[in-house]
Structure 1
């Protein structure tokens, strides 16, 4: 890990090439699960360095930071509220790979954005930005921006699933549904790839920036539209399906009006399922990179347990394909924690540690404060249940689903999967907003 002094020296070299002065007040911002973000000032103006810790870190990515910077510049020229890239790191700077952007006003905090007065206005601005992003074609950007092959993408997710154990029946259900319902290719447009609450900036109900372009690629515009509408990215506003800001009808109408493109609801649903499976596998992959030592950040093990969020969301998306008799069957997850007796349990020890960590909150700041919150979330997972893991029976069922031997018309299968999803998510992330909705729908009680 590069110390702050070395980072400042290398950054000064990059800034000098752009005719700028050395950085002042360099400090790391919170978050940044894959890339680091550092804020600083130069010449009386504020900037942000987006950086990978090493050149090796970028080796397996489809494109590097030079291409990402080119994508951002092209999007900005197309009228997107993208940041202005002012400088790029070079190998001789000795501080990894990255680029510098002019800092934008506004907050990325979903809680603050979703509470803004004119959510409907923000939603229209988001639709406008996506339409402008989708106006870009392969000829507008560097040759190494990938073009998605839908079938290859499914095959890659299936391979990841098998590598991760192939033992999650609900994910297997999603993969098989995708294989059976994959739409034909359409004219590729630039997809941001991660357009959602958490990657946009807003201030006073005004969209001020779109961040994190590292997953950009060419593909179906419905993919970008659907991704931001996933339940996980609505945060506390599960009741507002479009980015947590409003209704799907208003969002898609605003997009159609700006883009001149008609939204196909079947394609939209396909990509909603696809990206839910994609993020479920992304969560599982976090455990793998932590175990093999390639990334030992605390967030990795916590995000890995968020797979259960996507399993529940996926089942809620797919259950409409089941016969009515299976959909309407009430379930009984049977969640009841036994009263603790005798010596302290592992869960109680985890609670005690979490409570002690809470006393340190006011003594730490910046990224360490963020890590402390993640640590407390991790301990909460242990306290609730440290033993919800797939069984050999789960693996057999998942493989039977993948092979087409069993489907949602099998009597009792949907109810079995619902009960498992509720039990697992209640242990992993009990405050996940979709859990309450699923409980009302499937169990029939609060």
Structure 2
């Protein structure tokens, strides 16, 4: 009998120290596909916003509520729906959630009023918000520690790519086939991504370890990921971080860290969704053709793809909070450039890429930073609340735009530059705190 058979193998050992296998590549690609479709669905309403507003005769303030209810649904999905599915593992809940948001996206074409549209976007948001942590959890679990941050960052590129695709496809479809086609295409892509997960993605290793009747399934996965443990008959689950009280986050050693993370997360997410949701509508109202208005958002998402990768890479090599501050400063300066660009569409598009680089990289960076800085039994609580506060900001941003319609395109960009600057200042303060204090 081999040593692997006689010894209970820690399941993390199956992943750590191994070469990347095809199983892990499949997981990363399939989860990136889910994030792609998640972002496509989320941004479909922003891309089609000008046409929807005209067709359904929706007032600007009500359009802000439509945007925000979708994001409130995402927040509740991440906080409530995701944890409720933990007992079922990650794979099949992810398939279900992808199908949920895909069908809700398709049903959006039935909306005939502002409130029916808002209700459908809320239901869509529940699936969108719950699917993201499931996809990232699978990606993280199947990644070795040495490459986990990079792998998660690359998977998040799928999210930015979904925004690029929504802008590109929307620019072609909306003027020709109407706003309904964007939601139909988005839903069909989501159904395809859910099928991909069902076919190629294995179940969570930690979930399988807790199911003795599924040991054969676990052994099949292990035989590919770590062949030397293929004959093992006993595995140990990775100890899960227990949730601690939120009050632990306000202990003297964590207070500044918690408040700094929350401030940056709130402001960055608020700014991101103020910009994404309202730029096409404000641009069209200013006289920029619809296809060019949508393309401005496409350049934003292209910049976000670069920002997510480069900021994640740089955070491993320098003070991570300073890197986030630098990215948010790029966003602020780019928004300033857009404010003085007037109606020069080419300059607006180029500057929008800078906004995407800064906000996309900064918002993703703050999530990575929270996962890195909190430790022990406070990790789960700290990450959850940092993401939750960010989601609150994402719901507030669209409401600000709805109350400012008619102020002009330059005013929108000035308004967006302010929270980007404030977030950069808070990130800089956090950077000095990390330089002076050891990690908790």
TM beyond 0.5: no
TM-score by length of 2: 0.24
Question: Which of 1 and 2 has higher RCO (CA within 8 Å, sep 6+)?
Answer: 2
Q: Which has a greater percent of strand?
A: 1
Q: TM-score, normalised by structure 1?
A: 0.24
